[in-house]
Structure 1
Amino acid sequence: MLSKPTIMKCAIIFKYLLLSLGCLFINYSVAQDSKNDINYQLEGELKKWHKVTIVYDGPHSSEQAEINPFTNYRFNVRFTHKATNKTYLVPGYFAADGNAGETSATAGNKWKVHFAPDEIGEWSFKVDFRKGNWSAISDKADTGVSAAFMDGHTGSFTIAPTDKKGIDFRSKGRLQYVGERYLKFAETNEYFLKQGADAPENFLAYADFDGTFHNDGHGDKLVKTWSPHIQDWKTTDPVWKGNKGRGMIGALNYLSNKGLNAFSFLTNNIKGDDKNVFPYVDYNTWDRMDISKLDQWEIVFSHAQKIGLFLHFKTLEVENQGLLDNGGVGANSKLYYRELIARFGHHLALNWNLCEENGEWVKNPTTPPQDTMQRLAMAHYFKTHDPYHHHLVIHNGKKFDDLLGAESGITGPSVQTHRADFGSIHKEVLHWLAASKKAGKQWAVAVDEPGDAQHSLLPDKENPDHDLARRNGLWGTLMAGGWGNEWYFGYKHEHSDLTCEDYRSRDLFWNQAHNALQFFEENNLSYWEMENHNELVGNSENKNTVYCLAKLNDTYIVYLNSLESSVLDLSETSNTYKVHWYNPKTGGKLKTSKIKKVSGGQKVDLGKAPKGEQKDWVILLSKI
């Protein structure tokens, strides 16, 4: 018969064998600090660019606790890479029972921090956990008092290389602003061109999310089911609470399957057009978060990143630019920004948009539009508190002149235009690229609301050709040197910016957007080394007839917007070039015309397009 001590030893060994075996099949491990009796879990794949989550047992609290867990605790973790000494100070958050997206829990003792490591090898971490009135938003090192529990706790883990491939952003690394006209992936050094959906702005007003917004009397009829896209959901895709989420996940699958790589959404539209999207427990409470709803948002965002979709966070809109702190960056704004960064900042491909249509006056405003100092203050907060320094943009409204320069946190504009024919886009992109460079900080410029508010990108059944959107909007942006577009749906049409639940309403145009991305990718064009040279095709006045994007003496792209042919000035080069044609409407392989090659040292006639009724063509000249 075994002795009691022997039985206890066997039980302990058996326990740890089970834990070890469990870690082979599920992506978390349970750890305990024997000295301080601190329990925590390390969740996720311990690989470069993957989300690693540390879950602590901390103080028990709830969304409605008297001591507010969102404002009165500051949970930060500093991660340090052993070999490089690179450090990241990452905010954490109160997570109820740690699984609220499934349980709808509002209370618990779990506290989480997410981290996306950018180096292989050993990382150490140290917790700073403080308690005090509004300590969550304090930058003071010793704010309040120690909150005990995991405060001061240290640990480490080892990161292996990424094993992901294809469009999954974990194969490419973090998408970064690098002081150039295009964003760049840190792992592969690839640059990024985007095409995606700007609408509907109330993408997150979704019936399958938890929350009070469904029937609170504020825009309830605009809550979406995304039911047309249930057919696009796959059995291997995520859901929550049984079978919820299939419509929204399917919508993202559809965009990705069409070859698009971006979508956008408001995260707070209280007092706005829709009024159903906010991170809070209810419409009128701005210091307490709806934990389960935000967990469900995270499921959606994580899936989007795996299928190659860039996340465009629009944090405010024109109607609520003064909502939280009368336009300033006070306690409510800081808390809102902190929670966004803590819960979603680990994602690899995103930008923070400070406000849609910012700086405009609206009817019956409760506060005036934000002024320059308030705009700069928003940018400064993200610049100094986002550990990953994601691309930071703002939308017009008011033009961006007051935000130019090296000291501004803004790294690019999110441009809105106002012409139904998309005719001002090329000139707008050229202007902001030149103005930002002259001011000492080159912006990456995207046009995220092309066209006008009433019409913009029409449904296929009204405009199956989408000629003006393609010619003036899509190619007008890319040929100026912009890094891409997101497409707005006008409010006077079906499937509008507020009512759309079916991205197939613009299916034919998505093909044309994908054609543009394919042209640059499949022909291995170093667009990031190219600049606009309209003067070489006689278009120095920015007319919408012919554009030129070129790496001088190497590669020239000429876009015929409404002409049958063009002359290209190659006087400054002695090279010889192959001439190919590309149909931007139908895509496909490069074509040749009668003139198959040209020599430099002169102005050359590029000939006429291949046969067909097509009114716009792309001409590619490649050095022989």
Structure 2
Amino acid sequence: MSTPFHFTLLFLIAGLLSACQPEVPPTTAKNADLVTPKWQNVNIQFTGPQSSEDAAENPFRDYRLDVNFFLNDSVFTVPGYYAADGDAANSSAEGGNVWAVNFRPAHEGAWRWEAVMRKGEDIVYNDQQTSGERIEVGNQTGTLFVGPPAAGERGRLVRTHPRYLQWAETGKYFLKGGADSPENLLGYADFDGTYRHSNTFRDGENKTEGLHHFTSHEADFTSGSPTWGDGKGKGILGAISYLAARGINSIYFLTLNINGDGKDVWPFVDHKTFDRYDVSKLAQWERVFQHADDLGMNLHFVLQETENETLLDNGDTGPMRKLYFRELIARFGHHRAVTWNLGEENGPNDWSKTHQNNAQQKAEIAWLANNDPYQGYIVLHTHPHEAAFAEIYEPLLGNKQLNGLSIQIGNPYSAYEVTKKWIQRSEAAQSPWIMSLDEVGPWWRGLDPDAGFSPNPALNNQDSLRALTLWGNLMAGGAGVEWYFGAYNENNDLNTEDWRSRDRAWGWTSRTIDFFTEHVPFHEMSPMEELVSAPVRCLAKSGETYLVHLPYGGTASLDLSAVSGNFSVHWFDPAAADGSRLMEQEPQAAGGQLKLTAPGKGDWACLLRKI
């Protein structure tokens, strides 16, 4: 009889004690430790163990910081990183006791965080959450109130469609019009610890001297852009501002080119040490990435080069590669638009002794997909010929963790056929790939510079690349293009210092992207080449919307014999200086063959919508 009384007494005492405790007020914008709009990055710093880049206990391997962010019943875990003194971009510090995390919330509400730091030899590789020794850190817990997004916020670029990415906040679909060159963008003189480890270049390939300065773009620098170290970075920040002002929405850059073409980009303290990271250099990279992010640009991280794809762990996803991926994800994965590209020209070639195989590629893809909390867009790039496509791409068909292909084509005029082929093949494998053209050859030429930057202005391929490559990709259901500058141009893939060398091309590229995103419901449309005769192309939503592209102008016949009703007719001139206006013609009735005559010379596009 005493036991029930005992528990009842304890229950009553506990209830009285609980009643005496003050209620914890709900987290609001007024009492939270931090307040931020939705989608804005929050950098939280923690006071932890004193360390340095060269400490005996390696801060990159022997400590693991993970930060749990809680919202209601859900938890979002983000890897943290060693941040030296917390201001390394400015101070160039190599040591300190500051650790940090980047968190970009996708949901409004009252969040709280808890930092979990553990210490032990090589603990960063140990997936057991209770392994090693738990280390208490300053600022270990806290509250974060996330309010509505700022005006104009697009949110994160996410995969919601078989063929296109989409901005999470606005719902608008994304087509890429980007810069593929210079590939060694991050070989920039104002970054700490940046140098060229060898000046030996392969015979016949492009060459360069010194590091990038982008001096010509210092005039494009805008006040308030995130410089470092008493005003450094104006050249590269100005270059990014220039591209964004021209409507370019993606930039391509290698993060590891040791033994490759440029030999001047890596995240490590030097080009021979792969488990020690240059904290200040990476903090300075982050200033540039944040600037591009704020301007609405996709960050195309190319994780290795064909010459070094077996540099880490002989190509396996072993300790060095896992650490490399984790550091990049922790420091940069939070950005709104991130593409993780497994590497430039991944796979066998004629000049490297070793290469990664499909099993190694699958392991990389799986690691990134399973360890990136933000689920960045994962793509693969290989050499520009059918044999490479068959050897590298075919075995990966059906891989649902690979989001798309980053295609290199040697023949730029094959864009429509290549794009359509791999869309169809991936759809047939029940795992559709998004298809973009990210290196348009041939390798020695690429996209010619504008006339004022060319030693032979009479030789210029811009108009044909626009008509047959950019439009070829888009009309086949592709997701856009990044322009490569070739090896033999004066402003080439390594030595370009002035992006104005392609100013005209940026203009027609961005106008085309704007035309599609503002006027064409391309995410609801598919190629219907049976309605026209090649080389004319047709993208359509049957019975409702038809986009017909005439790459050489002239006339075309659109077969609407199976459709009834009247259609509005608007023409778009891809080469015009002002691409925002459409030229309207008299409506036409369906029910037969519609004759379409381009209003001028060059390539034209005709948009027909049911009235």
Taking structure 1 as the reference length, what is the TM-score of the superposition? 0.87
The residue that corresponds to 2:396 in the other structure is: 403
Contact preservation (8 Å) 1:451, 1:473: no
The residue that corresponds to 2:482 in the other structure is: 486
Q: Distance between the aligned counterparts of 1:326 and 1:172, measured in 2? A: 40
Aligned partner (choices 105, 111, 119) of residue 131 of structure 1: 119
Q: Distance between the aligned counterparts of 1:619 and 1:217, measured in 2? A: 51
Residues 1:423 and 2:409 aligned together = no
Residues 1:315 and 2:303 aligned together = yes
Q: Distance between the aligned counterparts of 1:434 and 1:385, measured in 2? A: 29
Contact preservation (8 Å) 1:313, 1:353: yes
Q: How does 1:189-204 map to 2 (within 5 A)?
A: 189-204=171-186
Q: How does 1:270-349 map to 2 (within 5 A)?
A: 270-349=258-337
Contact preservation (8 Å) 2:249, 2:298: yes
Aligned partner (choices 184, 200, 214) of residue 226 of structure 1: 214
Other structure's SS at 1:326 match:
helix
Q: Distance between the aligned counterparts of 2:369 and 2:183, measured in 1? A: 25
Contact preservation (8 Å) 1:380, 1:408: no
> Which deviates more from structure 2 when the two are superposed, residues 579-588 or residues 410-419?
579-588
Contact preservation (8 Å) 2:568, 2:608: yes
Over the aligned positions, Cα root-mean-square deviation in angstroms equals 1.9
Residues 1:372 and 2:372 aligned together = no
The residue that corresponds to 1:19 in the other structure is: none
Number of residue pairs the alignment of both structures matches: 561
Q: Distance between the aligned counterparts of 1:363 and 1:437, measured in 2? A: 34
The residue that corresponds to 1:35 in the other structure is: none
The residue that corresponds to 1:527 in the other structure is: 522
Residues 1:63 and 2:63 aligned together = no
Assess, with a 3 A threshold, how the Cα gap between structure 1 residues 467 and 598 changes in structure 2: closer, same or farther: same
Contact preservation (8 Å) 2:413, 2:465: no
Deviation at 1:307, TM superposition (A): 1.0
The residue that corresponds to 1:513 in the other structure is: 509
Other structure's SS at 1:129 match:
strand
Taking structure 2 as the reference length, what is the TM-score of the superposition? 0.89
Q: How does 1:85-234 map to 2 (within 5 A)?
A: 85-149=73-137, 153-165=140-152, 171-213=153-195, 221-234=209-222
Deviation at 1:389, TM superposition (A): 0.7
> Which deviates more from structure 2 when the two are superposed, residues 55-64 or residues 237-246?
237-246
Residues 1:390 and 2:390 aligned together = no
> Which deviates more from structure 2 when the two are superposed, residues 463-472 or residues 578-587?
463-472
The residue that corresponds to 1:168 in the other structure is: none
Other structure's SS at 1:433 match:
helix
Deviation at 1:442, TM superposition (A): 1.5
Residue identity matched to 2:158: Q
The residue that corresponds to 2:13 in the other structure is: none
Assess, with a 3 A threshold, how the Cα gap between structure 1 residues 389 and 267 changes in structure 2: closer, same or farther: same
Deviation at 1:216, TM superposition (A): 7.5
Alpha-carbon displacement from aligned partner over 1:409-433 (angstroms, at most 9, x marks no partner) = 21000000002xx111111110111
Deviation at 1:150, TM superposition (A): 5.7
Residue identity matched to 2:440: P
Deviation at 1:215, TM superposition (A): 7.1
The residue that corresponds to 1:24 in the other structure is: none
Identity across matched positions, percent: 42
Other structure's SS at 1:360 match:
coil
The residue that corresponds to 1:550 in the other structure is: 540
Q: Distance between the aligned counterparts of 1:72 and 1:510, measured in 2? A: 46
Q: Distance between the aligned counterparts of 1:441 and 1:212, measured in 2? A: 40
Contact preservation (8 Å) 2:218, 2:235: yes
Contact preservation (8 Å) 2:187, 2:194: no
Alpha-carbon displacement from aligned partner over 1:372-425 (angstroms, at most 9, x marks no partner) = 1100001001100000111110101332111121x4421000000002xx1111
Contact preservation (8 Å) 1:376, 1:408: no
Aligned partner (choices 565, 569, 574) of residue 584 of structure 1: 574
Deviation at 1:553, TM superposition (A): 0.9
Residue identity matched to 1:518: D
Other structure's SS at 2:174 match:
coil
Q: Distance between the aligned counterparts of 2:124 and 2:307, measured in 1? A: 27
